[in-house]
Amino acid sequence: MTVRFTIPGIPVGKARPRVTRAGHAYTPNKTRSWESQVAVFAAPHFSAPLTGPIVFGVVCVFPRTKAQAHILKGTDWPKYGDRRMWKSTRPDLDNCVKAVADALDGIAWKDDGQIVRMSATKFAARMIRDSAGSWREESPHVEVSVTELEDV
């Protein structure tokens, strides 16, 4: 069984825990907020956490950078405008995946230790032609796929 869903918004990487002067560790608000948003969009797709081995896929789509947006004004428009471009800047892909995986604990699976295979990709948005013929940038989002495997 494979479950696919999309989380709207700019992907957020898992930030390191912060420590107060009193020595208490806490997760930064931006990370907690993103993980809550992931949980809200994931919950309707799972009646109970999966218990078997999991294949986990994540595609993070970010807004184009200023440098990438500049390509639209150049002669490379047909070459780059209508497809996604690699995003090789922060946040780190592994931190983005970790934030989504942690948010899915107890919703999609019992524990992220069940993940036996994973794929992840980080892109800058592509341009999309709307019904009026105008070009607009694809909205930032995260595409998630979760597949439960049979035991070997």
Which is more confident, 104 or 26?
104
CA distance 124 to 64: 5
What does the pLDDT look like over 79-129, one tens digit per residue? 555 678 899 999 999 999 999 999 999 999 999 999 999 999 999 998 877
Instruction: Yes or no: say if 110 and 104 are a contact pair by the CB < 8 Å rule.
Output: no
Instruction: Yes or no: say if 58 and 11 are a contact pair by the CB < 8 Å rule.
Output: no
Residue 19, domain CATH: 3.30.1330.70
- pLDDT of 42 reads 98
Q: What is the largest CA-CA distance in the chain?
A: 58
Residue bearing tokens 């004004």: 73
Instruction: Yes or no: say if 5 and 141 are a contact pair by the CB < 8 Å rule.
Output: no
* pTM, rounded to two decimals: 0.89
Contacts of 49 (CB under 8 A, 6+ apart): 106, 107, 108, 109, 110
| Count of domains observed in the chain | 1
φ and ψ at residue 143, rounded to 5 degrees: -100, 130
Instruction: Report whether the peptide linkage leading into residue 91 is cis, meaning its omega lies within 30 degrees of zero.
Output: yes
Q: Which domain holds residue 82?
A: 2-148
Instruction: Yes or no: say if 7 and 144 are a contact pair by the CB < 8 Å rule.
Output: yes
What does the pLDDT look like over 45-85, one tens digit per residue? 999 999 999 999 999 999 988 777 666 554 445 555 567 88
Sign of CA dihedral 105, 108, 112, 114: positive
